[in-house]
Structure 1
Amino acid sequence: MTMTSFRGLSAALAAAMFALPAAAASWDMPTPYGDSVFHTQNIQTFAEDVASATDGEVEITVHSAGSLFAHPEIKDSVRRGLAPIGEVLMSRLANEDPVFAIDSIPFLASSYEEAQALWEASRPVVEERLAEQGLTLLFAVPWPGQSLYTQAEVAQASDLEGASFRAYNAATERLAQLMGAVPTQIETGDIPTAFATGRVDAMITSPSTGVSSQAWDFTSHYTDTQAWLPKNMVIVNTQAFEGLPEEQRTAIMDAAAEAETRGWEMSREETESGIATLEENGMAINEPSEALSQEMAEIGETMTEEWLEEAGEAGQEIVDTYQGAE
């Protein structure tokens, strides 16, 4: 081969290399919950939508049930770039900034309509706080309203006095304290074992978690308090996201918007089917008594006041915007 031919071949190879499409982004995504949970199912569909919209150039592999990173580690794993994308319960970040606890204040927003209005009022501030840590919010989806699971009927808050009460964030810890119970941090996957071993006696959680943990095996009463609708957020490392071509970023954001809309509807459906499943499996479904409703409302007012003291001006603006939209 002559030098001229070699140079010609090299140039052709170089041109061919640059003509190849950019290497596909292969993202591992840790999530806290199992495959049977609607949040995970929604995220699986989101991943499929992203792959389809980017012609396979962005592939998201979902690692559910804490199999890649445990729930408490997910946010920092995304922030540090150990995983480019992940899902986390928003109120888990409340110790970093009280804004993240806005959706876990009892009875501030206790219906889907109210929760949607509260999210619209708080989303810009949440996005701002995440951006300060190099994170971008993609979408957020609520759990069904939080209700009480106990081994005996609860007619008033004093019925829970001294009981070991499952907590999963700062708000549920405070709620337990105000009811006279003893908060105990228990992850979702550990709920059945915690009840079986006597580590906890009661919990407040969604119908979804009640069904996935088969709560009828260790509790007998469901009191439909619908206290609040906490959200899971899907977040992405901003540097990783901005490293993608613009058309891929647009495709991801479009898929995220669809996932949020779809997820809220799935959550509504989950509420109805979850309560029905609990009842089918022998749990007593109770409406809260007038005394319990009044006590819980008073606890909610106390927790709202405490939250506003912590959240300051930003928190007051969110509440004012939300209440003005009601």
Structure 2
Amino acid sequence: MPTRRAILATPALTLALPAAAQARWQAASGFAEGNFHTRNLRQFIAESGLDIQLHPNGALLPQPQIKRGVQQGQVQLGEILLTAYANEDAVFDMDQVPGMVSSMADARRLMAVRGPAIAERLRRQGMELLWLAPWPFVGIATQAPLPTPEAFRGLRIRAYSAISNRFAALVGAQGVLLPAPEVAQGFAAGIINAQLTTAPVAADTAAWESSRVFTLLNVATSNNAVFCNRRAFEALPAPQQQALRAAAARAAERGWALAAEAHEQAVSRMRERGMQVLEPTPELLAGLREPSRVLTEEWVARAGEDGQRLLAAFRG
């Protein structure tokens, strides 16, 4: 697996363009400066051949406003967590359905299947998809191990999407929708006593201060989308469009290595802080099959014929 130093040392293969010909773009992201997605986005900008100013961590636009900001031309480029926009289109949270994927190879294949559908939806709204970026698998931070599904009962679980909130209910827990910056406060106030999240977010929110165990459920992942305003893209000279596309293709591939690296580093940080990081027991995984089946059926009902076609293509 490439190290961070090796990844960031990749040469920029951009086209040399006269300064006068370069457009000046603004980019908005809801992710922190040190997040691996932001590091990837900064390298993309360095290789893009464009003059792009990045505003991370919601500094210019909070995440719920970024998609509309790009669509309306308030900013030219944005990065969002797709599942946060699932109320607009069920295709945006297909990867969130627990049990849909069980390995990163599955996650790659699912991204390839749904990528064209996401691109088409954004294009209809005046945006151009540049790439999809993966998060590591979701786990759960708790005070005690979860050897069986019964251990979920009575937990007040921090959820981060509609599907994860519904998942909590199906396993007998209470879901509480909270953004990552409010997790510590939620634990302190007793609103939650567990959290569904990825290992990097668990480490970033100092999960060891409120939890002793992180169980790698490996039942769901999620994607970010990086996209630009279509008019701004089409206004670029052809060489700049090509440079942008080439940089985006490299960022798309680099994202997988960065996600794996971020996961490994986060697991190490949690263990160094005294947390147990456990694989799920066979009994726990078996108990999650029925909630996964229910959530898949509910997702297909929301997604309609398009969802049925995507699911058939993925399973086929």
Q: TM-score, normalised by structure 2?
A: 0.90
Describe the superposition over 1:52-107 as per-residue Cα deviations: whole angstroms up to 9, x where unpaired.
Answer: xx2xxx21222111111111111111112111111101111111111111111111
Instruction: After TM superposition, give the deviation of residue 22 of structure 1 in Å.
Output: 4.2
Q: Secondary structure at the match of 1:109?
A: coil
How do residues 181-200 of structure 1 correspond to structure 2 at under 5 angstroms? Answer: 181-200=173-192
- 2:134 and 2:224 in contact (8 A); partners too: yes
Task: Quote the residue 2:266 is aligned against.
Answer: 274
Task: Quote the residue 1:229 is aligned against.
Answer: 221
Which of the numbers 249, 252, 270 marks the counterpart of 2:244? 252
Task: Quote the residue 1:9 is aligned against.
Answer: none
- 1:74 and 1:86 in contact (8 A); partners too: yes
Report the residue type matching 1:227 in the other structure: V
Structure 1: runs of 5 or more not aligned: 1-19
Report the residue type matching 2:153 in the other structure: E
Which of the numbers 39, 57, 62 marks the counterpart of 1:70? 62
**1:148–1:21: structure 2 CA closer, same or farther, 3 Å change rule?**
closer
- 2:152 and 2:173 in contact (8 A); partners too: yes
Instruction: After TM superposition, give the deviation of residue 134 of structure 1 in Å.
Output: 1.0
In the alignment, does 2:26 pair up with 1:34?
no
Deviating beyond 6 angstroms after TM superposition, the runs of 4 or more aligned structure 1 residues are: none
Instruction: After TM superposition, give the deviation of residue 291 of structure 1 in Å.
Output: 2.5
Report the residue type matching 2:198 in the other structure: S
- 2:27 and 2:55 in contact (8 A); partners too: yes
Instruction: After TM superposition, give the deviation of residue 178 of structure 1 in Å.
Output: 1.1
- 2:27 and 2:78 in contact (8 A); partners too: yes
Q: Secondary structure at the match of 1:184?
A: strand
The root-mean-square deviation of aligned C-alpha atoms, in Å, is 1.6
Q: Secondary structure at the match of 2:236?
A: coil
In the alignment, does 2:305 pair up with 1:313?
yes
Which of the numbers 294, 305, 310 marks the counterpart of 1:302? 294
Task: Quote the residue 2:11 is aligned against.
Answer: none
Which of the numbers 45, 50, 55 marks the counterpart of 2:43? 45
Task: Quote the residue 1:59 is aligned against.
Answer: 51
Task: Quote the residue 1:24 is aligned against.
Answer: 22
Q: TM-score, normalised by structure 1?
A: 0.87
Structure 2: runs of 5 or more not aligned: 1-17
Report the residue type matching 1:196 in the other structure: A
Structure of larger gyration radius: 1
For 1:21 and 1:214, how far apart are their aligned partners in 2?
44
For 1:66 and 1:40, how far apart are their aligned partners in 2?
12
For 1:162 and 1:78, how far apart are their aligned partners in 2?
41
Q: Secondary structure at the match of 2:108?
A: helix
For 2:176 and 2:24, how far apart are their aligned partners in 1?
38
Instruction: After TM superposition, give the deviation of residue 119 of structure 1 in Å.
Output: 0.9
